Structure 1
Amino acid sequence: MGAAVAACARAHAARVLWCEAGRSTASVARATRFGLTPVVTLGELLDGSDIVISLCPPAAAEDLARDVAGHRFAGVYVEANAIAPERTRRIAGLLNPAATVVDGVVVGSPPVGGKSPTLYLSGPADAPERIEALFAGSAVRTRVLGPEVGKASALKLSYTAFQKASRVLVALATGMAREYGVDQDLLEVASWRTDSYLTEPGYIAKTASRAWRWGAELEEAADALAAAGLPPEMLRAAASTLARWDDAKDNGELTLTDALDQLSRP
């Protein structure tokens, strides 16, 4: 997602930099594919940038922000990760007052192959509008939600709570039906409602390959529920279920049978 989104900013940016230190060969290949300019250190990247977009796994978001704050970055920092609003505001506190922090989230698939995700933004003054201008005319659509940091994060996790948890439930329902030999009957029942995820069992393998990232997002969404006085247990349970697929990370060859078999093993 990060490399593809960054590539969409190239038309309106002098350069789009990325830091190659500590990154995998796969990350290098993606950055090269999308025409990003490599730099060796984070300090070099920050010295050459007036806008930074943080788009990484949720667990790394705060550590990255601390590193950026340590370099006294004074530009616009877009916190674009799937994290709880409270955590987003904490990151804003780390970077202020030197930097202007914009809360941002991407909803949708990476902007490749004709897909067009939406980057939702919330933040002070004209900072969100600067990000809108950066992606104008690209495959990344933008929408500003207002000046309050935390709004974009709340929208993302509200959507994540349904989208990702519901697909975990599909895996559990399909696994139970298979165990009792009624998986085809379940599909027939589900087909009565064409908008049911139960009609898409093939997506279970994709869910398994993304579980390492989705689990972290659901933990963040659970934190957001708890902060709102709502019960977080279901999302924490869904994240625990996803952990059974940790070994399936980014496995594009995984089959439905493989995914269900792996789910049934503690």
Structure 2
Amino acid sequence: ATRSRAGAAGIEDLGSLERALGAADVVLSVCPPHGALALAREVAEHGFGGIYVDANAISPETARRVGRVVEKAGASFVDGGIIGPPPVEGGRSRMYLSGARSDEVAALFAGGNLQAVPLQGPPGAASALKACYAAWTKGATALLAAIRALAGHEGVEPALLEEWKLSQPELPKRSEAVTVQARKAWRWIGEMEEIAASFQAAGLPPGFHLAAAEVYRKLERFKDGGAPPALGEVTAAMRRGARRKASPGESRRRSAPREPQRRAHFKFGTAAKRLR
């Protein structure tokens, strides 16, 4: 799919990374987040000395690591963060840039559909902006999908939708956005993990987006599918592995008081062996 889209856009395939680097003054890295550092290392191994732009959805610290890798090999590093849909039309998508040569990179996109916006700040600033933006957009999509899955599991989904229509009228439709995004969910796992790392590095709780990563991990089965799945298929995939709801009788038995159990006592050495 990537090659066909590149061909349609008039991008020439030179057949190998070595040949491409030999012909390029600027490298623009856009790949799934988990591959960003590996690609930077591969480019560095070829001794690339031009401008390396990492526009991946990675944490500021990962961006700085990428920068150290390519700069050690002789390249200049520019950090990037893309916000918006594929730039088929102008005015809807932006690539924020940070680093000493951001203005040079921005000039390459002048007049195109992708607006390049240099930021004041060192490498890492563009990735930080992207992380903050996606923390809400993609994080909220995962949260709303999980809420729909929980409501369905507990049998209160119709009531929740009615309440949303009264008090949060935008949420019924927004909570269905995950159906359109399910086929791309596999790419968002790493992005949510990078956002979680960004929060943790700032002394903030990372759990919000680690949970979002787990939501998207449960949707990997929809990768490269045809038509978007129905919401019921998505929420069923999210609940896969969940415990069956207890019947009223089971609930009463579980809540009944139990006889206290004797606690086992182990010496530290014995416990350590058992944990290995």
**Normalization by structure 2: what TM-score?**
0.81
Aligned residue number for residue 70 of structure 2: 95
Contact 1:168-1:207 at 8 Å conserved across structures: no
Q: Deviations over 1:201-240 (max 9, x none)?
A: 3312123222111111010011111111111112112211
Residue from 246, 251, 254 that aligns with 2:225: 251
Q: Deviations over 1:126-149 (max 9, x none)?
A: x21122111111111121112400
Distance 1:197 1:37, change over 3 A: farther
Q: Deviations over 1:6-56 (max 9, x none)?
A: xxxxxxxxxxxxxxxxxxxx2221111111111111010011000110000
Structure 2: which amino acid aligns with 1:142?
A: A
Residue from 28, 44, 47 that aligns with 1:69: 44
Deviation at 1:197, TM superposition (A): 4.1
Contact 1:117-1:141 at 8 Å conserved across structures: yes
Q: What is the percentage of aligned positions where both structures have the same residue?
A: 38
Structure 1: which amino acid aligns with 2:221?
A: D
Aligned residue number for residue 118 of structure 1: 94
Is residue 2:60 matched to residue 1:85?
A: yes
Alignment partners' CA distance in 2, 1:241 and 1:202: 14
Aligned residue number for residue 264 of structure 2: none
Is residue 2:224 matched to residue 1:232?
A: no
Deviation at 1:116, TM superposition (A): 2.3
Structure 2: which amino acid aligns with 1:264?
A: R
Q: Deviations over 1:170-212 (max 9, x none)?
A: 1111122223443233233223456744432331212322211
Larger radius of gyration: 2
Alignment partners' CA distance in 2, 1:193 and 1:56: 40
Alignment partners' CA distance in 1, 2:167 and 2:52: 43
Figure out how many residues of one structure are paired with residues of the other and give that number. 239
Structure 1: which amino acid aligns with 2:118?
A: V
Within-5 A mapping of 1:175-194: 175-192=149-166
Is residue 2:139 matched to residue 1:165?
A: yes
After TM superposition, the structure 1 stretch with the greater mean CA deviation from structure 2, 198-207 or 62-71, is 198-207
User: CA-atom RMSD, angstroms?
Assistant: 1.8
Alignment partners' CA distance in 1, 2:15 and 2:199: 39
Deviation at 1:241, TM superposition (A): 2.1
Structure 2: which amino acid aligns with 1:227?
A: A
Contact 1:122-1:148 at 8 Å conserved across structures: yes
Deviation at 1:244, TM superposition (A): 0.9
Aligned residue number for residue 46 of structure 1: 21
Secondary structure, aligned partner of 1:38: coil
Q: Deviations over 1:36-91 (max 9, x none)?
A: 11111101001100011000000110110001101111111101000011111111
Structure 2: which amino acid aligns with 1:28?
A: R
Is residue 2:113 matched to residue 1:139?
A: yes
Within-5 A mapping of 1:204-223: 204-223=178-197
Secondary structure, aligned partner of 1:210: helix
Alignment partners' CA distance in 1, 2:170 and 2:201: 30
Q: Gapped runs of 5+ residues in structure 2?
A: 242-276
**Normalization by structure 1: what TM-score?**
0.84
Distance 1:121 1:211, change over 3 A: same
Aligned residue number for residue 16 of structure 1: none
- Give the structure, 1 or 2, with the largest relative contact order (CA under 8 Å, sep 6 or more): 1
Aligned residue number for residue 11 of structure 1: none
Aligned residue number for residue 201 of structure 1: 175
Q: Gapped runs of 5+ residues in structure 1?
A: 1-25
Secondary structure, aligned partner of 1:112: coil
